[in-house]
Structure 1
């Protein structure tokens, strides 16, 4: 796609920053709107507070260590830091809906009573500080100070809305991110990966109605969404083919299985300690996990450093190296890989359109072993692809989405036209009781003195599971608020948004399986009294009524709510997720 840079004035110039806050590793990339085709990922990371750039890596470890009150992060954590004090995997604690999985993912380390929101804010603050240092080095401090910066933060698609909101708020209060009012957009990780991966496909080999499954396999979560190509030119347009799925079966679970294996095999030997284990895990993470393939012979081995242990040939230990056999690696990998394969198979089965290919992205998605096992497990007609820079697909896609939001006409490369709703979304309202419709729920009907009739509270579902949802198509929900005239003017009114994540038809009456998604509060005090409806009820009392609409715009990973009264828009709606 040819980008008309001259159409962007100096007033439109922005720096778009993508932040891929991951379970085990995090990445940052950026681009300027006037040079949108030059995306840059940060690959040089600080190793100490005095050496701002030292370690070269496409991503930085998502871990913290509190040295007193000072938070060390990523590569700045010294090797001498006690392993039991290093905090890892804390990202997953943001989502309480993981339920029983919480006991498996509870972050380890000495956290000093700090809540997960504090951990996330401290980490994002450190990440942002290095981002600002890098931008000043690359662009110059005057440019960074004068040009607006917008952020696009990625979140797992399988997360609850509360977890996504927690992430946004933690980024909002991060100390190092400039201009506290700078926009922070949210995008789901698989959608960001899809924008990057689909843009990189051979345009000559694509056809309208081709369907691709994006498997974003990261450190903690695996997200899957199928996309159908609906238009090729001038912009590649796609829509979700079916509601996405996912699970907790990322590569961090391989690390945990490796740790358990190593402790069981040689953990009883003299000299086996946290420092040795940390070095072994580092070798497993950076080398072994990435080199292991399904074609390895059972007796092939990988050398794991175990300095300080005496030679034990019967255990595979010689000269400070432990020979990790391919057969052992197969046992470590297979349970986690099987979970991913089952998710892929289920998504292919759910999709009504034949899948042409599976795009593997994310750190775990770059695994040769996973790719080969998946290729052997699904229909041979379906190609399995690993796009270049698969580990950075999410963060690059985030930048591309931010550029598109900044200048849609000039900088959109891949447009997601429709998404599939993963839940039923609705509100609860009171309506006139009908014996034909509401008889099974007649016990909950009541007599309304104001309207002089029987009423019942039922669900008004404005989105149903599997519906097409587009950020270009707002949902308008009309309602009437009323208060006795004796109470005076309207103030703040509240209502709940409900969601049903169960695989069933939308219910008429709310039950225990319909959960509160968020509480909306709208300030009506600004509406002139002359625009209020004065109404005498059936009980003879006077009431004030106001007819309004709540506009809901469902984006990739967040929702915007706006109050509308007599075609006037009011940004007075706040949402509290629960």
Structure 2
């Protein structure tokens, strides 16, 4: 397929890497060994009752004591049987909860998530942790069935996350993994579009593309279940990747197509009918959504026959028909004829046939948002030399999505790798072996701390002037460590010296801003993301001591730490951005 003649993989110290693609809709894992990092094994034992799958639904079932019962297809099957027997009221079923972490400014350990009924809540950290624990335990069970001498400490774990997540979402996912007993020192977070990029570069390589790929620039469009993540990369001469522009994207994933389909059914049958169908016939409801997941790929960009409208067929559960006839007092054909969809749909036996023009509208909202976003991105000077687009993620397997993007960017080469839905997972495994494969990243935000500065009329606004011990200072000054748009190397450290705040401990609020030149922490696009707390053990003459503040950039996560300088008893700390 594509991309590079560079197969640079650094030798890692662990025996194997296991990557978990924890998605909003589906989850799965894959792994490879140190000696053969590109020989990736994906689990294919998930069973939905009809066939084996490479991923399982991201859903979790808790028993009446709020204890773990099951995950994935097993959880779906058990809960639907409970619903059939009307025994589900005391159980808790959670699905599609990953989007809780998307741009959630108030995210912390006490953040809650609703179950499927919307009536009960659990701490989100527990729901995520139990889900990750299930994936870890399932992986260990499967790998030990084939490799008997594997120890848990031999494994480096990788969990994929959207590149557009905030710092608190990243830290939340790490904390959930730690709560699932994954060792912090053996855990790496991988940004999903970066992982997909690595997969295309390292694994999916055509012989015709093996030469002279150094310097190639391309954009990765990763359309998952919840979000679309978009990054731009250049291949370096040594096989590493340089990020050309800060990661971006939005809530434009496949679940919004599903929601549009459900909104269509609600418009046709009525809100009461759909609510009753979901509540009383959950198994049929989930089966309908699974079938839609498959059949929506019938939606194409061009009609087969220009003279006659093309239709897409969906199986309609008999229970839904029965509830509708009882509630609406009309058989389905009468209901269709009296609706606004009378010229777009008709029923045939147990199926409903939807005109492809109507079906396309279910896709158009999120996909048009992606297209407009990429169009704006290509106007940026840093990516004007981009010649290729790579489309990955579950939605990349839709012919309609492929052709819409191909048409919108006809001057660019469009690459859709085989098994596009697994590109993130496979790339995450490779990334786990060699985290330095992304050597340069672009900062999305400016980062710094709030501090006093000696007041200067030429520099500071008079409204920020304060008096301390008879001297004039400027308050709320944004002391910048790195600026939005800056390029940083992997693991790049930036250190500043500060003074202790008081005898017992020092608190240093960490701020970020979308501006590349923030002046004060009170500016509208500036926000505090966490507090760095440092305890002082030697409190005498604390004013003579200094504090070294270090921010580490270029990794998938921001690292901030402090160290007291000048004392005999050393004190250090790292910061927490999950503020209560």
TM-score range, shorter chain: 0.7 to 0.9
Report the counterpart of residue 268 of structure 2 in structure 1.
265
**2:246–2:485 contact (8 Å) kept in structure 1:** yes
**2:563–2:570 contact (8 Å) kept in structure 1:** yes
Residue 567 (structure 1) shift = 11
Structure 2 residue aligned with 1:373, among 404, 409, 413?
404
Report the counterpart of residue 480 of structure 1 in structure 2.
499
Structure 2 residue aligned with 1:396, among 423, 426, 438?
426
Residue 493 (structure 1) shift = 2.1
Q: What is the RMSD of the two structures over their aligned residues, measured on CA atoms?
A: 3.2
Residue 97 (structure 1) shift = 3.1
**2:512–2:529 contact (8 Å) kept in structure 1:** yes
Report the counterpart of residue 136 of structure 1 in structure 2.
144
How do residues 124-203 of structure 1 correspond to structure 2 at under 5 angstroms?
A: 124-140=132-148, 142-145=149-152, 147-174=153-180, 177=182, 180-181=183-184, 183-199=186-202, 200-202=204-206, 203=209
How do residues 310-329 of structure 1 correspond to structure 2 at under 5 angstroms?
A: 312=332, 315=336, 316-329=346-359
Q: Secondary structure at the match of 1:17?
A: strand
Q: Distance in 2 between matches of 1:172 and 1:465?
A: 30
**1:522–1:563 contact (8 Å) kept in structure 2:** yes
Higher relative contact order (CA 8 A, sep 6+): 2
Residue 115 (structure 1) shift = 2.1
Residue 215 (structure 1) shift = 0.5
Residue 4 (structure 1) shift = 9.2
Structure 2 residue aligned with 1:120, among 128, 132, 135?
128
Matched, 1:453 2:471: yes
Q: Distance in 2 between matches of 1:44 and 1:402?
A: 23
Report the counterpart of residue 229 of structure 1 in structure 2.
235
Report the counterpart of residue 306 of structure 1 in structure 2.
316
Q: Secondary structure at the match of 1:133?
A: helix
Report the counterpart of residue 505 of structure 2 in structure 1.
492
**1:95–1:162 contact (8 Å) kept in structure 2:** no
Return closer, same or farther for 1:221/1:495 CA change in 2, 3 Å cut-off. Answer: same
Structure 2 residue aligned with 1:382, among 412, 417, 421?
412
**1:224–1:347 contact (8 Å) kept in structure 2:** no
Residue 35 (structure 1) shift = 2.7
Q: Deviations over 1:140-188 (max 9, x none)?
A: 2x3235x52221111111111111111111111126x5xx455221121
Residue 42 (structure 1) shift = 1.3
Structure 2 residue aligned with 1:97, among 104, 117, 141?
104
Q: Distance in 1 between matches of 2:260 and 2:162?
A: 23
Residue 561 (structure 1) shift = 2.9
Return closer, same or farther for 1:35/1:257 CA change in 2, 3 Å cut-off. Answer: same
Q: Distance in 2 between matches of 1:187 and 1:571?
A: 31
Q: Distance in 1 between matches of 2:490 and 2:311?
A: 51
Report the counterpart of residue 39 of structure 1 in structure 2.
40
Residue 193 (structure 1) shift = 1.3
Residue range with higher mean Cα deviation, 117-126 or 552-561: 552-561
Report the counterpart of residue 283 of structure 1 in structure 2.
291
Residue 385 (structure 1) shift = 1.0
Report the counterpart of residue 204 of structure 1 in structure 2.
210
Q: Secondary structure at the match of 1:114?
A: strand
Q: Distance in 2 between matches of 1:64 and 1:183?
A: 25
Q: Scaled by the length of structure 2, what TM-score is found?
A: 0.82
How do residues 341-420 of structure 1 correspond to structure 2 at under 5 angstroms?
A: 341-352=371-382, 353-378=384-409, 380-405=410-435, 415-420=437-442
Q: Distance in 2 between matches of 1:107 and 1:376?
A: 41
**1:551–1:563 contact (8 Å) kept in structure 2:** yes
Q: Secondary structure at the match of 2:499?
A: strand
**1:87–1:110 contact (8 Å) kept in structure 2:** no
Residue 443 (structure 1) shift = 3.1
Residue 96 (structure 1) shift = 5.0
Q: Distance in 2 between matches of 1:27 and 1:389?
A: 14
User: How many matched pairs?
Assistant: 522
Return closer, same or farther for 1:113/1:2 CA change in 2, 3 Å cut-off. Answer: closer
Residue 325 (structure 1) shift = 2.5
Return closer, same or farther for 1:47/1:320 CA change in 2, 3 Å cut-off. Answer: closer
Q: Unaligned 5+ residue runs, structure 2?
A: 1-5, 107-112, 323-330, 337-345
Return closer, same or farther for 1:366/1:556 CA change in 2, 3 Å cut-off. Answer: farther
Q: Deviations over 1:391-417 (max 9, x none)?
A: 111111111111114xx7xxxxxx222
**2:17–2:157 contact (8 Å) kept in structure 1:** yes
Matched, 1:87 2:94: yes
Residue range with higher mean Cα deviation, 314-323 or 332-341: 314-323
Q: Distance in 2 between matches of 1:561 and 1:357?
A: 36
Q: Secondary structure at the match of 1:371?
A: helix
Residue range with higher mean Cα deviation, 268-277 or 26-35: 268-277
**1:93–1:107 contact (8 Å) kept in structure 2:** no
Residue 461 (structure 1) shift = 0.9
Return closer, same or farther for 1:550/1:4 CA change in 2, 3 Å cut-off. Answer: closer
Residue 20 (structure 1) shift = 1.1
Return closer, same or farther for 1:47/1:313 CA change in 2, 3 Å cut-off. Answer: closer
Report the counterpart of residue 539 of structure 1 in structure 2.
none
**1:66–1:111 contact (8 Å) kept in structure 2:** no
Residue 98 (structure 1) shift = 7.3
**1:216–1:361 contact (8 Å) kept in structure 2:** yes
Report the counterpart of residue 521 of structure 1 in structure 2.
533
Residue 264 (structure 1) shift = 2.2
Q: Distance in 1 between matches of 2:448 and 2:466?
A: 22
Return closer, same or farther for 1:509/1:279 CA change in 2, 3 Å cut-off. Answer: closer
Q: Unaligned 5+ residue runs, structure 1?
A: 49-53, 100-104, 409-414, 484-489, 535-542
Report the counterpart of residue 23 of structure 2 in structure 1.
22
Q: Scaled by the length of structure 1, what TM-score is found?
A: 0.82
